[in-house]
Amino acid sequence: MRSIIKAQRGVRDILPKDSYKWRFIEDVARNLSASFGFKEIRTPVFESTELFERSVGDETDVVQKEMYTFLDKGKRSITLRPEGTAGVVRSVIENSVFGGALPLKLFYINSFYRYEKPQAGRYREFYQFGAEVFGPESPQADAEVILFISSFFDELGIKNLALKINSIGCTLCRERYSVALKGYFSTAGDLCEHCAQRLHRNPFRILDCKDEKCRNASRDAPVITEFLCKECVDHFDLLKSYLDSLKISYIVDPRAVRGLDYYTKTVFEFVDTFSRGQNSVCGGGRYDNLTEQMGGPKLPALGFAVGMERLLLMMEQQNLEIQKPQDCDIYIANAAEEFKLTTMKLSFILRVFGKINCEYDISDKNLRSQVRHADKLGARFLLVIGQKEKDSGFGIVKNMKTKETLKVPLFPDDDFLKAARNIILAHLAQ
């Protein structure tokens, strides 16, 4: 059996066998966000193409070749969001959210879209948990954001992560550095085709290139650190001292440059030290000029994003089991057809008034099959309704695991509910 219509390349369904894992991680993210004082923001899946061109940067790979861009029926150029910051910044400006209490701390768990070739830990539709802070200039905010993510990883029990940090300076530092790099690379030897072109547009990127030639060429390249202004140096030093006192270990990687144009000063990345594939699970940094550049007020800001698919992948690799939720507390079986309505009614009482996960047969199974099904569902308890129960007004609730049985009244409704609930609560309390 094969359906004619298949899911599109690079996207996938998250089925019940996995969805509870997502739910678990999202819950951790939400709860921790609350602890750190971050409020949820939900922005649209699509925005004007221009938003991303102007914020992410039209020289970047993301904008140049990875966006899902199309014209809508009104001939507007629309793009499915390839990342989260642009939309949040747009929303903050548009809704004047900065008019409230600063710093403004926002988080999101959203899907993003990038037209790339699918690979391990990489899909065309992917999810990120991200957060943004608007307002603070202080490096303490940088430390706070890093502490936030690092706590998130800790809570999930993830090991083998390395934090890489760097400062890529403010506009002035970058300008001076860019000039120096261009000078250096024009005499440093052969570059790959890509980088030869990038030399004038975006020389920073050459440092990141994995091509043999480029790596050789950039071996003795000047590093950004030498070009940072006093303010940027102080900022970075303070951040490092904060991280030290927070006991968060890090590696200063002067080569680290982010792929999106809006970053300034602090940039950081968490990488999985155990895999050499798509090992970047979290990236972020400061973007002090973006809000103003997009037409808003001068508002320093910073943020990060964690890739959910990669996170899940890592957890799997590290054998971090996520507890599967209990699906069925009690299964009410009918011994014969004429008791179907009673099972239905009793289930309704437990489900609606007792908030108990309860199942009963809706597919005309015989008793044996019903019990078998209850077992498959992993039901904790079983109650069979038949002539005896109807006559006596009492039912036997059986613990599927221990096979212990307990007598419960079937009516009045309140007595039934109370008895059933007590049994289940007592079981949960163990």
Partner RNA sequence: GUGGGUAUAGCUUAGCUGGUUAAAGCGCCAGUUUGUGGCACUGGAGAGCGUCGGUUCGAAUCCGAUUACCCACCCCA
Chain residues 352-381 in contact with RNA, contact rule CB under 7 A:
365-369, 371-376
Under the binding rule (CB under 7 A), the answer on residue 58 touching RNA is: no
Least spacing, CB of residue 28 vs RNA, in Å: 17
Pick 201 or 368: Cβ nearer RNA: 368
For tokens 């819950």, what's the residue?
A: 27
CA separation (Å) from 418 to 23, 338, 354, 403, 430? 30, 25, 8, 21, 19
User: Given candidates 61, 137, 231, 253, which one binds RNA under the rule CB under 7 A?
Assistant: 61
Q: How far is the C-alpha of 203 from the C-alpha of 178, rounded, in Å? A: 7
With a CB cutoff of 8 Å and minimum separation 6, the contacts of 15 are: none
Least spacing, CB of residue 360 vs RNA, in Å: 14
Alpha helices in 121-252 (DSSP H): 139-156, 171-185, 193-201, 212-217, 230-245
3-state DSSP percent of the chain in helix, strand and coil, to 5: 45, 20, 35
User: Given candidates 37, 44, 189, 277, which one binds RNA under the rule CB under 7 A?
Assistant: 277
Under the binding rule (CB under 7 A), the answer on residue 164 touching RNA is: no
The span of 21-29, 56-64, 149-157, 291-299 binding RNA (CB under 7 A) equals 56-64
Q: Site mask, RNA, residues 188-207, x = CB under 7 A?
A: ------x----------x--
User: Given candidates 47, 53, 83, 142, which one binds RNA under the rule CB under 7 A?
Assistant: 83
Closest of 41, 82, 57, 288 to residue 168, by C-alpha: 288
Closest of 278, 292, 285 to residue 232, by C-alpha: 285
Q: How far is the C-alpha of 416 from the C-alpha of 317, rounded, in Å? A: 46
As a dihedral over the C-alpha atoms of residue 89, residue 95, residue 99, residue 103, rounded to 10 degrees, the angle is -30
Least spacing, CB of residue 368 vs RNA, in Å: 5
Under the binding rule (CB under 7 A), the answer on residue 382 touching RNA is: yes
Q: Rule CB under 7 A: which of 110-149 touch RNA?
A: 114, 116-123, 126, 128
With a CB cutoff of 8 Å and minimum separation 6, the contacts of 416 are: 346, 349, 408, 409, 410
The span of 147-155, 181-189, 271-279, 342-350 binding RNA (CB under 7 A) equals 271-279
Pick 209 or 233: Cβ nearer RNA: 209
Under the binding rule (CB under 7 A), the answer on residue 427 touching RNA is: no
User: Given candidates 93, 163, 173, 282, which one binds RNA under the rule CB under 7 A?
Assistant: 282
Least spacing, CB of residue 58 vs RNA, in Å: 13
Least spacing, CB of residue 302 vs RNA, in Å: 13
User: Given candidates 17, 73, 75, 210, which one binds RNA under the rule CB under 7 A?
Assistant: 210
Pick 10 or 254: Cβ nearer RNA: 10
Pick 298 or 403: Cβ nearer RNA: 403
- In this structure, the strands spanning 394-399 and 381-385 are antiparallel
Pick 312 or 350: Cβ nearer RNA: 312
Pick 111 or 225: Cβ nearer RNA: 111
Under the binding rule (CB under 7 A), the answer on residue 260 touching RNA is: yes
Under the binding rule (CB under 7 A), the answer on residue 224 touching RNA is: no
Q: For the CA atoms of the chain, what is the radius of gyration?
A: 28
Q: How far is the C-alpha of 371 from the C-alpha of 384, rounded, in Å? A: 9
Closest of 141, 131, 159 to residue 243, by C-alpha: 141
Q: How far is the C-alpha of 101 from the C-alpha of 399, rounded, in Å? A: 54
Pick 62 or 173: Cβ nearer RNA: 62
Pick 219 or 403: Cβ nearer RNA: 403
What residue type is assigned to position 126 of the chain? F
Residue count, binding to RNA (CB under 7 A):
71
Under the binding rule (CB under 7 A), the answer on residue 81 touching RNA is: no
User: Could you give phi then psi for residue 359, rounded to 5 degrees?
Assistant: -130, 155
Helix (H) or strand (E) holding 126: strand 125-134
Pick 229 or 406: Cβ nearer RNA: 406
Two tokens, residue 209: 């290139």
Q: How far is the C-alpha of 47 from the C-alpha of 230, rounded, in Å? A: 38
Under the binding rule (CB under 7 A), the answer on residue 26 touching RNA is: no
The span of 14-22, 154-162, 163-171, 304-312 binding RNA (CB under 7 A) equals 304-312
Least spacing, CB of residue 100 vs RNA, in Å: 27
Instruction: For the sheet with 394-399, list strands across it.
Output: 358-360, 330-334, 381-385, 394-399, 405-409
